[in-house]
Structure formats: structure tokens, C-alpha cells
Amino acid sequence: MSEFAFIQTSPGLLHAGWGPFSAGARHDQPRAAFYVNDYFLEDPDPWKYPTTSEELSPSELADRFPPSELPQIGWESPSPVAFESLFRSAHSSIERGGLRKVVPVMFESGLFEAPADRLVSHIVRRMQSLSEPARAFGWSAADKGILGATPEVLFSTDGVRFTTMALAGTRPSARAEELLDDPKERDEHQIVIEDIKDRLQPDGAVTVGRTGVMVFSGLAHLLTDITFEPPHPQRFGFDEMIRRLHPTAALGASPRSDESARWLREADRGVGRGFFGAPFGFQRADGSGLCIVAIRSLTWRGGLARIGSGAGIVSQSSMDAEFEELRRKREQVKRLLGLDGGSV
């Protein structure tokens, strides 16, 4: 399979890059590049430079891939027992006062015997029918990759000013109006807002917008837009903003501390987040760009496919409700990416 990367930069417009790619630790070349890393930012060379790149519509990207039926995937749901262990560990840390919120992640996995090209073609062609507020993105290299459609933007920038968001709290879209009046969901969302403010406020002006509701493919979330204007923009490049913000409390832990970092690392031992929830971005030569949070996605390595989902645990959380939220998010991904059967 040829190497490629793409990201939706605006409604109806994608930026795509085609390999082979070269890689570097910083974006220090006068051309556009993609930022691809894992959740724990362990790739020493996360900047990927394509051989060629272009702007095109979702349908034009889909035309680059041949029609394909979805390969049969034998999905295996995550264990309720494994989630119970994570939930109790999180709740114990919260009750001791070390954490206010933590986000465990679970994966549904499945084996497929067909070439990965068929899976990729099916999903990319499906993506041309996505509607806002989806941000389609993808990366494929060697025998692994990620494809998804996320509602969450880590930040966007014109090279001077940054816009980010707090996105937390989940309900089925038919019950979206409950979010604004639910104390547990509002508390969880406020933790994310405070986390972002704490990371940015010492070094610039932070403006927090009004909290509303985003509805996205059957699920509703609380959404608050946040802007950041540093007095010296040249000191706040793409990499610095990733270090400041990732992972926000929407997909990490709060407060940020040695204890919360240990919890996330320990929880990852039996899970392996990989690309899931990682920052995925694109930056132009003029410094403008976009970085999304790689959720609502499918990852694959060889013949193993995985769909991840996370649930925010706070003091008021119910284990059964959070486990059901994890399931709903994975089912949403299957619908979005056409993984529930059929062809395009």
C-alpha cells in the first residue's frame, strides 16, 4: 500500500500528501508537513514530509481509491471485567483526592484476512459522504495506519492566534438537551475548560466562549470554544501548542501531575492506545495549520483492526453508564466509516 496522509482543513476541502514521506523532529523545511505521533508522543520524528501534496474535495480523494467491499472483520468487544478494573482504579484515585477526572480507554478489535488496501479504500470512499462537524483524517505507512472522522480539534491557527475547544460530556442526540442541565456532565466539561486555561493563561490572553451542544452522528457533546493570543506568537509554534495542550482533560487526566501521568501509563499497559487520541496535524509553510484529536477512528496493523473509545470518569460517574458510553462511541465509528456492512 502506498503511503499517504490527509486531513480536512475546512468544509469540503482536504489537504492530502502522497509518499514516500521523509521525517524530522521539527517542521523546519519551507513546505507543508503532517504531524503524526502516538498518544504518548514517543515518535522522535513526528513531522512527515510528503513527496507531493494537494488540496482536493472528499469526492476527489475518494476517486483515487478503487471501489471496494468491506472485508469481513471478526469483531471482539472489550471485556466488562477489564473496564471494571480501570473504573475502580480511577474512582479510587479520585476518592483519595489525587485526581478529579481520568479517561480510561477500551478497544474493540478484529482480524481481517483481506489486504489492508481493501479496508482503506472502503473507508476513504465512505468518507466523501461525511457531514459537519466531522474532520476526516488519515495516515497509512507500511503495514499500519489510522482513518477517522473526529469532532474534536486540539487547535487551529493562522500563525498568530490559536483556537481550541473543550469537548466533553456525552448523550444520545435525542437527549441532547439534558447535557446543559446535568451536574455530572457540566462538572466533567468544566474540568476540561479549566485544564486548557491553566495550560495557556500564564502566557497570553485566553477567551472562553459560551458553552453549547454539538450534535455529531447520533451523539451530542458539550462544546466550548476557546481562543488564545500569545503576545509573542513566534514562541508558540505548532510543537509547543501540542506540548501545552495534549492530552487535555477530555482524553487524559486532571490535574496534570506525576500521579495522573503514572495512572495513564499504567492503564495503557493492557490497552496500548497507539494513535488513538493522539494529536494529528497539518501545518503550511506560513505557520498556519490545524491539529485534531485522533478519536472516532479505526487503526490497523497488519491484519488486526481496532476501534477505541474513551469515557471521562469523575466522582459522580456510574460504571455501567460509562461502559455503555464506550459502546455507543464505537458503534458511532462503525456507522461513520461504513464498518457495519455493505459497500460504497
Closest Cα to residue 147, out of 119, 108, 112?
119
Q: Mean pLDDT, to the nearest integer, of 64-77?
A: 92
Are 17 and 9 in contact, with CB atoms under 8 Å apart? no
Closest Cα to residue 34, out of 6, 62, 2?
6
| Domain presence at residue 319 | yes
CA distance 156 to 281: 9
Q: Phi first, then psi: give them for residue 313, nearest 5 degrees.
A: -100, 125
Residue type at 166 in one-letter notation = A
pLDDT tens, residue by residue, 293-320: 999 999 999 999 999 999 999 999 999 9
What is each CA distance from 209 to 128, 164, 228, 300, in whole angstroms?
31, 11, 11, 37
Cell of residue 147, nine digits: 482513518
| Domain presence at residue 141 | yes
Cell of residue 268, nine digits: 495503557
Closest Cα to residue 332, out of 66, 146, 112, 108?
108
Which residues touch 329 (CB under 8 Å, ≥6 apart)? 170, 219, 296, 309, 310
Q: Which residues pair with 56 in a beta bridge?
A: 14
Overall domain count for the chain: 1
pLDDT tens, residue by residue, 264-302: 999 999 899 999 999 999 999 999 999 999 999 999 999
| Domain presence at residue 341 | no
| Domain presence at residue 342 | no
| Domain presence at residue 321 | yes
Residues 21-48, buried b or exposed e (16+ Cβ, 10 A)?
beeeeebeeeebbbbbbbbeeeeeebbb
Grade residue 340 by pLDDT with cuts at 50, 70 and 90. Answer: confident
Q: Mean pLDDT, to the nearest integer, of 72-88?
A: 94
pLDDT of residue 342: 41
| Domain presence at residue 343 | no
Cell of residue 113, nine digits: 484476512
CA distance 154 to 37: 14
pLDDT of residue 192: 96
CA distance 237 to 135: 22
Q: Which domain holds residue 14?
A: 4-65+74-336
pLDDT tens, residue by residue, 191-245: 999 999 999 998 899 999 999 999 988 899 999 999 999 988 777 889 999 999 9
Cell of residue 101, nine digits: 477526572
pLDDT of residue 265: 95
| Domain presence at residue 148 | yes
CATH of the domain at 183: 3.60.120.10
Q: Mean pLDDT, to the nearest integer, of 60-66?
A: 95
CA distance 55 to 9: 9
pLDDT of residue 249: 95
User: What is the pLDDT of the chain when averaged over all its residues?
Assistant: 93
CA distance 223 to 299: 26
pLDDT tens, residue by residue, 317-336: 999 999 999 999 999 999 99
| Domain presence at residue 191 | yes
